[in-house]
Structure 1
Amino acid sequence: MRAVRAATVRLVPFLGLLYLLNYLDRVNVGFAALTMNADLGISAAAYGLGAGLFFIGYFLFEVPSNIILHRVGARVWIARIMVTWGIVASATAFIRDEVGFYVVRVLLGVAEAGFFPGIVLYLTYWFPRARRAKIVALFFLAVPLSSVLGSPVSTLLMQYGDGVLGFDAGWRFMFFVEGLPSVLLGVAVFFVLPNRPRDARWLAPDERTALQSAIDAEDARQVGGEVGVRSALTNPRVLALSVVYFGIVFGLYVLAFFLPQVVKGFERQFDTTLSLAGIGLVTAVPYAFAAVAMVLWARHSDRTGERAWHVAVAAFVGAVAIAAALYLDSPLLVMAAITVCAIGVFAAIPVFWQLPNAFLVGVGAAAGIGLINSFGNLAGFAGPYLAGWLQGVTGDFRAGMWVVAAFMALAGAIALSFRRTGPDSTVD
């Protein structure tokens, strides 16, 4: 269908750019920590707490935000989210102590709540089910690309930003600069993003009608009637998927927030020397491989129509790889194992989001997807905090990485219970 191709070209790259900025503003604190922690006197445990506090505000406002998006439309609500998170992200440049770090991280979570699940929901308005895993994977490319591109950019801004615009540290300059594009693109969203196919002026009238009718008919055929908010939030399958997503995201955010410090630790562990920019480049490697693997895995899932095994296998691979990394004796082998773990994490996520889409639609999908994402992203609080605490207690990252492996293995095991999904299915 030409309308689907047009929607892919028009929407996916633009939404991916928005998510790239979104994710970069969320995790650039991992690079800031290389010098910010010492400047502000923040311990490893305090940093882990602050990095994770983002997800408390995120958790509390995620479901209401997604329901609002469903009711008022993506154009208005995504624009609001982007402008407010960009302002808060830039304001991180002005924190002066540990408490300020905590406050700005909570506010960033509140401002951003609803963005990712809102886009996942928004994509269901535009694309047939047989193509959604690949479409979500193309959109989710923003995450590894934010690391492939953002890692060297963030570290270069830190390395050369000291004294620029009056900032007394490079990490302050980085935060300020990287928040501004989100504000500008948030304004653009209000003017260019159509809510549904029927609103797309770049489609011919017959194409708008055909695409809208095809999506509506498929939802009615595959899912049946729309369920209410309460039913979606108490659905056992939604709760089980929340646990699965928690385990996958646990690995995602421990990598995001601590991989730069793991690479820096090679200096002590393997007697290597890397500049800030060098750390950024090495950190980008796993994400480059993960980006390619994620799209190929999603395409295979769409082609076969299978979802649960694709999620489970990817999670199991990630769990084994991160555990193996703890016992390797060279930086090259450690990075190879971490790369395989990143591949497992990223390959699982786009396919995972097809599991709730198999039995949720409408406001029920808005509530259910919001709950799954908010609960799953509590791993963004628990993961960094637990990893930071264990690092402080043990002096290295080994215990924290074992916890990542355990949660990812649990996610894979539960995902297998969704081998049958549909309007009449139950968890096996």
Structure 2
Amino acid sequence: MASNQPPSRPASVRIDEEKKLEDGMSRARDSALSEGTFYQSQVSGKPIRKHFFSPPDGALAEAVNLDADNVDFTLEEEKAVRRKIDMRVLTLVVASYIFNQFDRTNIGNAHVIKKFNENFGITNNNKWTLALSIFYVGYCLLEMPANVLQRHIGANRFFFLSLLFWGLSSLSFVYAKGYAGLLVLRVLLGIGEAGYYAGMIYYLSFWYKRSELALRISLCMTGTLPGAIGGLLAFGLVRIQTPVLTGWQFLFLIEAIPTIIMAFMILLFLPSFPFSSSFLTPREKAIAQARLNRDHRPQSHGGMSGWQGFKAIVND
């Protein structure tokens, strides 16, 4: 009985055809990887988030990581990518930290103004000390939950919410009255700033190698220097008197509004991760991720257990 199936091809022919197909796919893959777009292009155009509080797109992150595993780059290319990261990421982080220091220290500058103390009923040092200390109630209670939120929604949305919240809290001082109102606003200001500093350090680790972090963190700390300007600003503003606002109110107003504007700049221009950045090309994203992957590989601890490592740190 004759078979209806077509005659099978010799095994050598099938192997040769499969090899040609694999070679063709490999060449196409290598060509795409040379541009850093092979895996990323397969997920491009998809929505990164469903809503504001949804986590970043895992498919895009995986695609960039696959590109990073296969990309080759020179030292000059790595330096060029790092310069671009400095110009965008580090600049925005330092700027936001400057506004953080302005909004945190403006109450000290306002305290020297008599009308500020009269408005909020600060009649003795005990009331003033409590007003300063109560800031840390919200700050300490929400610092850990704030960093969990940052991990879930990404740094740009977390920093946006943080700057917006403490900017609005600082702005509310302009129209608040009474000692109770002062305490409430100080707690809210602490809530807004909770997790910001730790989140900033954590965020920078997404962009820089361990050998690069110390310098970048030091540059961020220079954001405390403009806080000295706040005293000079207060000295000038205290003399402003209008039918609507007085000097200390202008101090909070002028320092709060730029913070709120900065919050929206963070949301629009600060990417949470290299894979979600718009200022890097696909190849630059792969390079940015590759250099971190290679730098963050697990290090040998000489066979020490976790407890042994802890004792070694304590005894050091």
Query: Which residue identity is paired with 1:163?
Result: T
Q: C-alpha distance in 1, partners of 2:194/2:83?
A: 29
Query: Which residue among 142, 147, 166 is the counterpart of 1:61?
Result: 142
Aligned match of 2:193: 112
Matched, 1:175 2:252: yes
How far residue 65 of structure 1 moved from its aligned partner, in angstroms, is 0.6
Aligned match of 2:99: 21
> Judging changes above 3 Å, is the alpha-carbon distance between structure 1 residues 223 and 189 closer, same or farther for their aligned structure 2 residues?
farther
Query: Which residue among 200, 205, 210 is the counterpart of 2:282?
Result: 205
Aligned match of 2:128: 47
Asked if structure 2 preserves the Cα contact closer than 8 Å seen for 1:37 and 1:47, the reply is: no
Matched, 1:150 2:208: no
Aligned match of 1:217: 294
Q: How many residues align?
A: 229
Aligned match of 1:123: 204
1:94 match: secondary structure: coil
Aligned match of 2:242: 163
> Judging changes above 3 Å, is the alpha-carbon distance between structure 1 residues 39 and 76 closer, same or farther for their aligned structure 2 residues?
closer
Q: C-alpha distance in 1, partners of 2:135/2:299?
A: 36
How far residue 86 of structure 1 moved from its aligned partner, in angstroms, is 0.7
Aligned match of 1:427: 314
Q: C-alpha distance in 1, partners of 2:273/2:87?
A: 15
Q: C-alpha distance in 1, partners of 2:266/2:155?
A: 9
Query: Which residue identity is paired with 2:196?
Result: F
How far residue 25 of structure 1 moved from its aligned partner, in angstroms, is 0.6
What is the root-mean-square deviation in Å for CA atoms of aligned residues?
2.3
Aligned match of 1:31: 109
How far residue 199 of structure 1 moved from its aligned partner, in angstroms, is 2.0
Which consecutive residues of structure 1, in runs of 5 or more, have no partner in the other structure?
A: 225-234, 237-421
2:208 match: secondary structure: coil
Query: Which residue among 190, 200, 214 is the counterpart of 2:267?
Result: 190
2:272 match: secondary structure: coil
Asked if structure 2 preserves the Cα contact closer than 8 Å seen for 1:223 and 1:423, the reply is: no
Aligned match of 2:160: 79
Matched, 1:132 2:209: no
How far residue 126 of structure 1 moved from its aligned partner, in angstroms, is 0.5
Query: Which residue identity is paired with 2:96?
Result: L
TM-score, L = length of structure 1:
0.50
How far residue 102 of structure 1 moved from its aligned partner, in angstroms, is 1.0
Query: Which residue identity is paired with 1:34?
Result: V
Query: Which residue identity is paired with 1:116?
Result: Y
1:5-404 mapped onto 2 (5 Å cutoff): 5-35=83-113, 36-42=116-122, 43-147=124-228, 149-160=229-240, 162-163=241-242, 166-167=244-245, 169-222=246-299
Which consecutive residues of structure 2, in runs of 5 or more, have no partner in the other structure?
A: 1-78
How far residue 94 of structure 1 moved from its aligned partner, in angstroms, is 2.0
How far residue 72 of structure 1 moved from its aligned partner, in angstroms, is 1.0
Q: C-alpha distance in 2, partners of 1:146/1:16?
A: 13
Q: Percent identity among equivalent residues?
A: 26
> Judging changes above 3 Å, is the alpha-carbon distance between structure 1 residues 213 and 153 closer, same or farther for their aligned structure 2 residues?
same
Asked if structure 1 preserves the Cα contact closer than 8 Å seen for 2:119 and 2:177, the reply is: no
Asked if structure 2 preserves the Cα contact closer than 8 Å seen for 1:222 and 1:423, the reply is: no
Query: Which residue identity is paired with 2:277?
Result: A
Superposed CA offset, 1:176-227 (max 9, x none): 2211111111112111111111222222322211221221332233499xxx
Q: C-alpha distance in 2, partners of 1:92/1:33?
A: 13
How far residue 15 of structure 1 moved from its aligned partner, in angstroms, is 1.3
Q: C-alpha distance in 1, partners of 2:140/2:180?
A: 20
Q: C-alpha distance in 2, partners of 1:10/1:127?
A: 13
Query: Which residue identity is paired with 1:108?
Result: L
How far residue 132 of structure 1 moved from its aligned partner, in angstroms, is 0.9
Greater share of helix: 1
> Judging changes above 3 Å, is the alpha-carbon distance between structure 1 residues 83 and 39 closer, same or farther for their aligned structure 2 residues?
closer
> Judging changes above 3 Å, is the alpha-carbon distance between structure 1 residues 95 and 221 closer, same or farther for their aligned structure 2 residues?
same
How far residue 172 of structure 1 moved from its aligned partner, in angstroms, is 1.8
Query: Which residue identity is paired with 2:109?
Result: F
Asked if structure 1 preserves the Cα contact closer than 8 Å seen for 2:109 and 2:230, the reply is: no
1:79 match: secondary structure: helix
